[in-house]
Chains A and B, each alone.
With several copies, the nearest count.
Chain A
Amino acid sequence: MLKKILQDRVYSLLVLLAAISAVASIVFPSTFPTFENFRQILLNLSIDTIVAVGMMILLISGAFDLSVGSVVAFAGCLTAYLMHFFGVPVPLAIMAGIAGAMVVGLVNGFLIAYQGINPMIQTLAMMGIVRGMALMVSGSGIQNLPYWFNTIGQSKLLGLQMPVWYMLLAVLMFTFLVNKTIVFRRFYYIGGNEKAADLSGIRVKKMKLWSFVISASLAGVAGILLSSRLGAALPTMGRGLELRVITAVILGGASLSGGFGKIPGALLGALFMGIISNIMVIARISGYWQEIILGIILIATLWLDKFLQKKYADLR
């Protein structure tokens, strides 16, 4: 048990989060530990987390995708565009939006896995291209989206707004898939040792292609949720989201070199960031101090994690 906590980021992060929340609840009893507050924290990180789940899969398989932020915008705008200008029925428009995202993932995956283009540049370039396309379809953004579309992101269940539920669904679903199905398990082999995976009969290229499609699709879903929540599709949605998400995922235990990470880590990483910035606002930290202190906390956290692992190694 202790081993788990000290070794596995998911657990150490959980413990850390609990500790921080406890302290915050004592210091800010009236503002921090309230249902409203947490409901809102969860809602605000739901979009990021859905993208983070896909990113986690990519990092497990040893890749990453910088274009997700743009895909969020593109999928949202494309869906809104179809509904608003062509009166396409909501479900169809949504499917089209996700399909659009998938195409982006396919292109990324194909060029990276089958043509051997450097993933960093490929996805960076795609980030620009897709952002451009989002601007193309939406101009300055699209308002007055159909009521039924807005309900997707704005209606509530048990006091929690839908995006939170979708997020939990995504996390649970992929946690299960990654733990329980051979297909998803393969990503660990690919990330751990591509050659070995290949020798073990895993079709590495195909799997890589899929990993990009999966993460792009999740980004698409996130984009559609976001614009439904906003009741509008803005081409500026998801700017800088890619780095935010990658940070959360690495914080959640993934490594850029691949082979490591658990899906719940994506949620925990995002939750950590969310709670920290929430506490900072509550603590009246504002202006540039926010960035400075957030940075310091990030580093401190990883440092603590390393420290615990060393302790564990000694004590074993």
Chain B
Amino acid sequence: MRTIELQGISKTFPGVKALQGIDMLIHPGEIHAVCGENGAGKSTMMNILAGNLQPDAGRISINDQIVSLQSPQEAFEHGISIVHQHLSLVESLSIAENIFANQQPTNRFGFIQYKLLRQKTKVLLDQLDIQLDPTTTLSELSYAEKQMVEIAKALSKNPELFILDEPTASISAKETKILFNILKNLKQKGVAILYISHRLDEIFQIADRISILKDGKPQGTFPVAEISKELLIQKMVGRTLEETSDQSHRTGEVLLDVKNLSGEKFTNISFTLHCGEIIGLAGLIGAGRTEIARAIFGVEVKKGGEIIFKNESIVFDHPEEAIERGVAYVPEDRKHLGLFMDMSIRDNIIAASLKNARDGNLFSSAKATNMASSSKQSLNIAATGVDQIVRNLSGGNQQKVVLGKWLLTNPDVLIIDEPTHGIDVGARHEIYKILSKLASQGKGIIVISSDMAELLRLCDNIIVLKEGSKAGTLSRQDATEQKIMSLAAN
């Protein structure tokens, strides 16, 4: 049983006051949600609790004992373990070795026991209901599967304070359900849980209390019962979000026609995307949604089938062609596939449209800066400037940068894999607006998402995939979470 108290925690990064005088009390056996916009300082706070960052001011006490958490190791020793927003996994190692990193089970001579390691891993994976061999190399997993491994890793430490930084951003309803059951159990056991998510429904579903951050400043803590969604958003964003009408812009004109497309991980996928239409791809982890997108975009070779784009059969053998023809793909794994972490926001945003950043035939940094700045404006990315290094952005703002990059290519067909992956309500709202605006301009959009609310809200048609094949299509009218789940699961 631990009661964790934060007093006057402050943290400043070059150019940013990430946290300013945070006070917070986390009781054992409560699920304590932390809400805030992208860049509000949530992850920073969690990293401080996890011993990964050192606060400039303030103190942390556990059961009224002031503790100093100089390193992750010390945090573990105090029973604190965290599911990182940016996964803390090693691609080149097996699932088992990732989960028990630096604490593999050993015999009494201090030698690693691999059999035991595999067994312990299997137990954890079963707990999370993941059908994967513990010896699988991490690099062979999809992003969502990695997310689950990260959760298993944190769980393996039997924490007293369990921190989850946007664990559900990229997993589907099925996994989310499993996760919540586990959290409830831990709660029974008296574990204190800090839970970060931009999916407010989830928060109202499981949280006991909610603390709100804005621009690094505390906005108070409320029992869920005492705060409405509207008020929460109001406090997070500092304004109320006017509801957008999500009327369909679907036209009769066919834009993209996919016929019996087959690839590594999917077979006989057919669908038609009309101008102004938003199609959703739903499915559980590993359903093959990403692979379909990659096949259309020309990253992976298709095994069979035909893609007809603007009434002509096309095969992109490289994304370059896809981009030139007006197809864009926002990948799921922003860190590895989306971003140039050590480059500036500007260079990231113009990456896919370098040709437009020219003045005559020559590259013009002024022009590039303008392009980037306007995207930064329209997506309102929270950063010190377009010259800031992307690595130092908050998760959500990084996602906005990736989006900005692809919107700048102004595509006719936009494929987005987990579009609001880690994006706050405000920004999510903006992105939805952007998407329906694009649709209204007659563009076709394919949304791959594990957030069903999102699909239901955005899509004219939802294609549900199951183990790589089409399990059914639901139109906006008759789509419900239950229907999607039943198609996707059994």
Interface set of A (CB-CB < 8 Å, partner B): 179-182, 185-186, 188-189, 191-193, 195-203, 259-260, 313, 316
Cβ A199 vs Cβ B331 within 8 A: yes
Q: How far is the CB of B289 from chain A (nearest CB, A)?
A: 16
Q: How far is the CB of B161 from chain A (nearest CB, A)?
A: 15
Contacts A189-B340, A259-B90 given; does A200 touch B362 at CB 8 Å: no
* 25 cross-chain CB contacts under 8 A: A179-B112, A181-B111, A182-B102, A182-B103, A182-B110, A189-B93, A193-B89, A193-B90, A193-B339, A195-B336, A195-B337, A196-B351, A198-B52, A198-B72, A198-B299, A199-B72, A200-B102, A201-B72, A201-B323, A201-B352, A202-B102, A202-B320, A203-B73, A203-B318, A313-B14
Cβ B14 vs Cβ A185 within 8 A: no
Cβ B92 vs Cβ A260 within 8 A: yes
Interface set of B (CB-CB < 8 Å, partner A): 14-15, 50, 52, 71-73, 76, 84, 87-93, 97, 101-104, 106, 110-112, 297, 299, 318-320, 322-324, 329, 331, 336-343, 347, 351-352, 354-355, 357-358, 361-363, 405
Return chain A residues, CB-CB under 8 Å to B87: 196
Return chain B residues, CB-CB under 8 Å to A192: 90-93, 340-343, 347
Return chain B residues, CB-CB under 8 Å to A180: 111-112, 362-363
Return chain B residues, CB-CB under 8 Å to A203: 71, 73, 318, 320
Return chain A residues, CB-CB under 8 Å to B103: 182, 201
Return chain A residues, CB-CB under 8 Å to B323: 200-201
Q: Chain B residue with minimal CB distance to A186?
A: B102
Return chain B residues, CB-CB under 8 Å to A199: 50, 52, 72, 84, 88, 297, 299, 319, 329, 331, 337-338
Cβ A185 vs Cβ B363 within 8 A: yes
Most buried by B among A189, A200, A260: A200
Contacts A189-B351, A316-B14 aside, 14 further interface pairs with beta carbons under 8 A come to A180-B111, A180-B362, A181-B110, A182-B363, A192-B90, A192-B341, A192-B342, A193-B339, A196-B89, A197-B102, A199-B331, A200-B352, A201-B72, A202-B101
Cβ A197 vs Cβ B71 within 8 A: no
Q: How far is the CB of A108 from chain B (nearest CB, A)?
A: 22
The binding surface of chain A is classed by DSSP as: helix
Return chain A residues, CB-CB under 8 Å to B340: 189, 192-193, 196-197, 259
Return chain A residues, CB-CB under 8 Å to B112: 179-182, 185
Q: How far is the CB of A176 from chain B (nearest CB, A)?
A: 9
The answer, among A181, A201, A259, for a CB contact under 8 Å with B319, is A201
The answer, among B84, B331, B362, for a CB contact under 8 Å with A181, is B362
Q: What is the CA–CA distance of A24 and B363 in the complex, to the nearest angstrom?
A: 41
Cβ B14 vs Cβ A200 within 8 A: no
Q: What is the CA–CA distance of A200 and B102 in the complex, to the nearest angstrom?
A: 7
Most buried by B among A189, A193, A196, A313: A196
Most buried by B among A186, A188, A199, A259: A199
Q: Chain A residue with minimal CB distance to B15?
A: A316
Return chain A residues, CB-CB under 8 Å to B331: 199
Q: What is the CA–CA distance of A195 and B402 in the complex, to the nearest angstrom?
A: 14
Q: How far is the CB of A113 from chain B (nearest CB, A)?
A: 14
Q: Chain B residue with minimal CB distance to A182?
A: B354
Cβ A259 vs Cβ B343 within 8 A: yes
Return chain B residues, CB-CB under 8 Å to A179: 112, 363
Cβ B73 vs Cβ A201 within 8 A: yes
Return chain A residues, CB-CB under 8 Å to B71: 201, 203
Contacts A182-B355, A199-B72, A202-B101 given; does A259 touch B320 at CB 8 Å: no
Q: What is the CA–CA distance of A198 and B362 in the complex, to the nearest angstrom?
A: 22
Q: What is the CA–CA distance of A186 and B97 in the complex, to the nearest angstrom?
A: 10
Q: How far is the CB of A114 from chain B (nearest CB, A)?
A: 13
Q: Chain B residue with minimal CB distance to A202?
A: B102
Cβ B337 vs Cβ A182 within 8 A: no
Q: How far is the CB of A41 from chain B (nearest CB, A)?
A: 32
Q: Chain B residue with minimal CB distance to A7?
A: B137
Return chain A residues, CB-CB under 8 Å to B93: 188-189, 192, 259
Cβ B299 vs Cβ A185 within 8 A: no
Q: Chain B residue with minimal CB distance to A196?
A: B88
Cβ A182 vs Cβ B358 within 8 A: yes
Most buried by A among B76, B88, B106: B88
Cβ B319 vs Cβ A189 within 8 A: no
Return chain B residues, CB-CB under 8 Å to A193: 88-91, 336, 339-341
Contacts A196-B89, A200-B405, A202-B101 given; does A186 touch B354 at CB 8 Å: yes
Return chain A residues, CB-CB under 8 Å to B324: 201
Q: What is the CA–CA distance of A226 and B112 in the complex, to the nearest angstrom?
A: 35
Return chain A residues, CB-CB under 8 Å to B337: 195-196, 199
Return chain B residues, CB-CB under 8 Å to A259: 90-93, 340, 342-343
Most buried by A among B73, B92, B329, B362: B92
The answer, among A182, A196, A201, A316, for a CB contact under 8 Å with B90, is A196
Q: Chain B residue with minimal CB distance to A199?
A: B88
Which 9 residue pairs are nearest across A and B when measured between Cβ atoms? A192-B90, A200-B101, A192-B340, A201-B73, A199-B88, A259-B92, A201-B320, A201-B323, A192-B92
